[in-house]
Amino acid sequence: MKHMGDPDGLLAGDSPLLDSLLKTTSLLKRVAQNPQYELQIIYTQIDRDAQNRPTFNPHIFHLNPRQYFNPASLVKFPVVALSLEKLNDLHQPGVTRRTIMATGTAFRCQTPVPFAAPADSDRTATVGNYIKRMLLVSDNVAYNRLYEFLGQRHLNQRLQELGYPNARITRRFAPCDTAANRHTNPISFHTPTGDTLYKQPAQFNPIIYRSPLGRVLKGRAHQAGRRLIPEPYDFTTANHLPLPDITAFLQNILFPESVPTAQRPHLTTTDYAFLRRYLHTTPHESGFHLYAPTRYFDAYKKYLYYGRNPDLPQQSTLRIYNIVGMSHGYLADVSYFADSLHQSEFLLSAVLYVNQDGIINDGAYEYDTIGQPFLAQLGRLIRQYESQRTRQHRPDLTEFFAPEPIR
């Protein structure tokens, strides 16, 4: 997967294969042929050589770097990986993903998390627990805490350095204005008895980030509180994460040897194992005790293939490593499928816009009636196709199904 520079012509045109597959059901065809859904898809075939080394062959549909979509929770994945990287780069004895973290306040729109001794390890404020909450159920408060730990400037600088020049992660998931989001909280790490191991002062980013697309206006109107404002919603300073970039980031974490060393975050073998575990596991099977299975069902964060259907249990022969986004009418899932039943694997990323009334923030989106069913059908279709696709060498998927003691 190439980044937005696209030297290999990734954006040259739609894949005839995907175009054909999208005509196989009425729902897929209806969404694919209607520009109001703003559909973008990247389906990446993976082929292995005799030594099990992968090569990646992307197929695209309507991929358009000039078509803005709100990435919503997709931005959480770079934030979790770069938070682990920052811990490694601090080189502070005793400061790890399991160390107690306290968050202070220094500017408007900031909220504190005072030091608290760990009475319940799953509830303790640590980088590791925040990551689990983000990857298991897409927790917004946990995202805010790690956005603040990274700092806006450092976060975006690392994205540029790793090869994502058009990515912008500029906002908390809270009603903070642009200036408040440029200010991030003081952070400290502590021993269980309260001794301070490391202090990070409050930070300010003097750079104002705007969309590389220029001014971005969406919708015919938007809701602000109880008021309906008859003007488009302005995404110009919102988070921006193109579909090729977040797809490449997932490949980066799952297949680090497939990208140049300079484009890999500074992660340890244990970091990679930790991220892999919580990218695929469900809230119920994770052993993380905050999430009751009645609310956070197996398919809660698995849009492709399961369609977020609470009545569908996860198949033991299929592991989906993914990150999702759902906000402002945009629905996205970026996934890697490892299928031990058919000895197949592939990457699949898709985003669509389901906002028939054209009003942003009114909560009236067609997620359940169009978006989720579409993504479920798409994932099932590609899995079926991949199960029959001719390969010279079947993949050895042991690393994706091996027992995972990492907690």
Predicted pLDDT at 52: 97
Describe the strand order of the beta sheet including 221-224 as a list of residue ranges. 227-229, 221-224, 359-360
Tens-place pLDDT, residues 325-364? 999 999 999 999 999 999 999 999 999 999 999 999 999 9
At 8, which amino acid appears?
D
Q: Which residues are 208's β-sheet partners? A: none
Domain ranges of the chain: 16-400
286-305 core/surface letters (b: 16 or more CB in 10 A; e: else): bebebbeeeebbbbbbbbbb
Nearest to 256 by CA among 3, 50, 395, 53: 53
Q: Quote the DSSP letter at residue 66.
A: T
Quote the pTM value: 0.95
Contact in structure between 135 and 101 (CB atoms under 8 Å) = no
**Of 3.80.30.20, 2.120.10.30, 1.10.10.10, 3.40.710.10, which CATH number belongs to 16-400?**
3.40.710.10
Predicted pLDDT at 21: 97
3-class SS at 206?
coil
Contact in structure between 237 and 178 (CB atoms under 8 Å) = yes
Predicted pLDDT at 167: 96
From CA 99, how far away is CA 101, in angstroms rounded?
A: 6
3-class SS at 80?
helix
Contact in structure between 389 and 262 (CB atoms under 8 Å) = no
Predicted pLDDT at 11: 52
Nearest to 336 by CA among 318, 356, 309, 311: 318
Q: Which residues are 223's β-sheet partners? A: 228
Alpha-carbon torsion (331, 75, 103, 208), positive or negative: negative
Helix axes 76-90, 243-254, angle to 10 degrees: 50
Element (H, E) at 160: helix 152-161
Instruction: pLDDT tens for the chain, 407 residues: list them.
Output: 444 344 344 455 899 999 999 999 999 999 999 999 999 999 999 999 999 999 999 999 999 989 999 999 999 999 999 999 999 999 999 999 999 999 999 999 999 999 998 867 889 999 999 999 999 999 999 999 999 999 999 999 999 999 999 999 999 999 999 999 999 999 999 999 999 999 999 999 999 998 899 999 999 999 998 999 999 999 999 999 999 999 999 999 999 999 999 999 999 999 999 999 999 999 988 888 888 777 899 999 999 999 999 998 889 999 999 999 999 999 999 999 999 999 999 999 999 999 999 999 999 999 999 999 999 999 999 999 999 999 999 999 999 998 776 66
Q: Other CB atoms closer than 10 Å to residue 342's CB: what's the count? A: 15
Predicted pLDDT at 9: 42
